[in-house]
Structure 1
């Protein structure tokens, strides 16, 4: 229940902030173009609070906090007294109307930059882009455990989040990509990751895993969580022991234990198992015993298993800039995210990306709650992405959206006169149908995600 309430709360906060800022963009430019604004509402429905400013605008907080709107004086909506005609939106020239409509998405774009700047100044905790386990395509391409990813293509990857995003984006194009890495010994090399070998169809969130890369922080620590009675480890090892080496070979992750135990068993005799226990280093003699898995396959075992529940390790990287350095970084990141977003739209339209990438309010709420739990910097990063998405979606040339109105005004510029009321009404119906289809797809993906 706490997750549900948290998701609802952070969704309301996110949408409230972003839509209010969007509508403020329309409001601010409309006022400067001489348009009379009748109402600026945060939320929809009945007013919980309202007051009239000296400018004659009603400022309102409404009962339904999912959005907001700006109501302007317009002859197409109601009769306008002759004395107020100069302040009507429809009486403004086409360039002023374009400026007023474009101001909403532009406000979200500027908010994205501001939020990213704040995120960079605060500093976003993350993990180092260091590989802990390599197999498959990555191993064939020459990658090794201990490699730190410095750049994927032309994208710098200071943390694992940036590296994972860059690799996933490259995977969608299924083409080889140059990856600059720093090896464990400090040498820097460029390796070509052949992503063309990925399956023809794959789950995009698993692209990095399918390429054969597991980051170091995702490896299960070699800590003993359970010991089976009657096995070689019973009475020798203890729960909480951290295995550091077997037969002289260092252990980094729990997955390293099994192959080393197989080698020890095949060699025969006892081996030395080194552990850390209560701050002390111990060397214990153990001899693996033969066991069989559920399929009847024989293997050597010590009788240890990892803890039933695993905690994520402490962050070992931080994406942070000073207040001045964060300014160009915020603009650069906004540009990168914008180009990535339009590229993704192109991939969706071209069938190179799954429509499962289209998310609705349920998914947004879940991510809002998850990012808020990770701290202020992660939540600011999430808000920046959502603000940019709101700007881009509103600029799509779909009637009923800002982009649709801008399309009407561009046509007006070309033909020298406004579109007819009939043509605009027809466009509105088409826009509503397209928007309903998009929302239906988003809700479907949301529900499918919950079921999965």
Structure 2
């Protein structure tokens, strides 16, 4: 049950915090510009908590934490006679510039949250891996890269961690574009190598891009200790239990968890059990495990079904060997540059999905967010803040898309109004809202569909 409650809880924390911050942007700017705010709601649906402030604004926490809104006084929604002063704070009576400022405030506040979160991350210290090459294969091997080299820049973009290096390579990989990579070898000599990403197969699954590129950090050991056992799996039926350390499979010694899958695929068959020897309470015991065939690995180059025995690895802490830590001023500069890099990468990915260069499978919905929120929260404050920064930036970018019903759609309406000198007709605006709603529901449906596929495949 904890594997469900944890992600749900951290999803609520994540969306609750970021949505509140987004809506507070609309709220505070509206108040500053003299607009009367009727309601500030975090969530939709029935109210779980509600109160009014001295200005008559109702603050609500609603039951469905998947959004929020700020409702402002609007003359088009007022019925009856309210007198000349009753509409003084109406949103639609403000100038175009004021309405644009109020509408843009939500995404701007999300952007500010991103910068602030990353600022704290870089002051506290963000753990990562050094950009050292631990193995070379596929395209990287044919491009001349060597084990032990340190990546210093990708396409002219300086990198100081493995995460930055892979992030910089991802865009070029999606574009199938050759990229110049600066490296320093073990003797301290600098080299420039051209990573021939144009040679990547056009139809390769994007989840296999890191494998096909062929660069990986030095391999860290993963003890072959069982962390969980599927209740209806072959291992459970044979008597294996969490905490068992796998010693051998079909006679092949197991030194690392990565050896487990290789040995199972090598020796498994439908007509005979696997002999799995484990160390338990200081004694080695052998179990006869009858493997089952599962679905092919979605990231594998072939489509062969994989043999499964129903065990998972005991989580281990990654041994980071680099920490990005700066003083307050330098950390702020780093936060701005990291926000810019993430914005550029996100917009680049969206553009590639629109043009078909990247698959829409890259879209993730609430299930992916919940799982990532839980995982980052388990990693500690720095990783959770880094995750919040990324989601906040994504919310800012999403809301600025020129889709009616989103903030970007509203800004588009006001831009047209400023050009033509009068607002669009109510009929056009309402039609746009319907179109925007269909697009948004379709986008959310696609993201949810991708989430389900990831979790059942």
Query: Normalized against structure 2, the TM-score is what?
Result: 0.79
Which residue is equivalent to 2:104? 102
Q: CA RMSD, aligned part only?
A: 2.7
Question: 1:156 maps to which residue?
Answer: 158
Matched, 1:355 2:376: no
What corresponds to 1:140 in structure 2? 142
Q: CA deviation at 1:66?
A: 3.0
For residue 23 of structure 2, what is the aligned residue in structure 1?
Answer: 23
Determine if the alignment matches structure 1 residue 421 to structure 2 residue 421.
no
Tell me the distance in 1 between the aligned counterparts of 2:380 and 2:157. Answer: 25
Alignment-derived partner of residue 14 in structure 2 = 14
Aligned mates of 1:42, 1:213 — CA distance in 2? 44
Check 1:43–1:147 CA distance in 2 against 1; reply closer, same or farther (3 A cut).
same
Residue correspondence of structure 1 range 214-233 to structure 2 within 5 A: 214-217=216-219, 226=247
What residue is the counterpart of 2:416 in the other structure? 411
1:34-93 per-position Cα deviation (integer Å, ceiling 9, x unaligned):
101112122233333332222221223333333322111112223372222110111111
> After the TM superposition, which of the residue ranges 215-224 and 4-13 deviates more from structure 2?
215-224
Structure 1 residue 189: Cα displacement: 1.6
CA 1:117–1:209 in 2, change beyond 3 Å: closer, same or farther? same
Structure 2 CA distance for partners of 1:218 and 1:202, relative to 1, 3 Å: farther
Within 2, Cα distance between the matches of 1:101 and 1:308?
A: 47
CA contact (8 A) 2:139 2:197 kept: yes
Which runs of 5 or more structure 2 residues have no equivalent in the other structure? 226-244, 260-310
Q: Secondary structure at the match of 1:130?
A: coil
- Unpaired segments ≥5 residues, structure 1: 234-238, 243-252, 255-306
2:393 is aligned with 1:372: no
Q: 1:449 to 1:309 in 2, by over 3 A?
A: closer
Q: In 2, are the aligned partners of 1:168 and 1:205 still within 8 Å (CA)?
A: no
The answer (yes or no) to whether the contact 2:377–2:383 under 8 Å persists in 1 is: yes
Deviation at 1:356, TM superposition (A): 0.6
Mean CA deviation greater in 222-231 or 396-405? 222-231
Counterparts of 2:11 and 2:246 in 1: how far apart (Å)?
38
State how far apart, in whole Å, the 2-side matches of 1:51 and 1:227 are: 63
Number of the residue aligned with 1:319? 324
Given candidates 411, 414, 437, the residue that maps to 2:442 is 437
Q: Distance in 2 between matches of 1:2 and 1:215?
A: 32
2:5 is aligned with 1:5: yes
CA contact (8 A) 2:171 2:348 kept: no
Q: Secondary structure at the match of 1:328?
A: helix
Q: CA deviation at 1:197?
A: 0.9
Which residue of structure 1 aligns with residue 271 of structure 2?
none
| Pairwise CA distance, 1:308 | 9.1
Contact kept, 8 Å, 2:224 with 2:313, in 1: the verdict is no
Tell me the equivalent position of 2:215: 213
Give 1 or 2 for the bigger CA radius of gyration.
1
Partners of 1:142 and 1:230 lie apart in 2 by: 38
Q: Does 1:394 align with 2:416?
A: no
Question: Matches of 2:148 and 2:26 in 1, distance apart?
Answer: 51
**Residue pairs, 1:258-407, within 5 angstroms:** 309=313, 311=316, 313-407=318-412
**Structure 2 SS opposite 1:67:** strand
Provide closer, same or farther for how the CA distance between residues 309 and 431 of structure 1 changes in structure 2, counting only shifts above 3 A: closer
Distance verdict in 2 for CA 1:229–1:354, change over 3 Å: closer
Aligned-partner Cα distance in 2 for 1:23–1:389: 15
Alpha-carbon displacement from aligned partner over 1:399-435 (angstroms, at most 9, x marks no partner) = 1111111111111111111111111111111111111
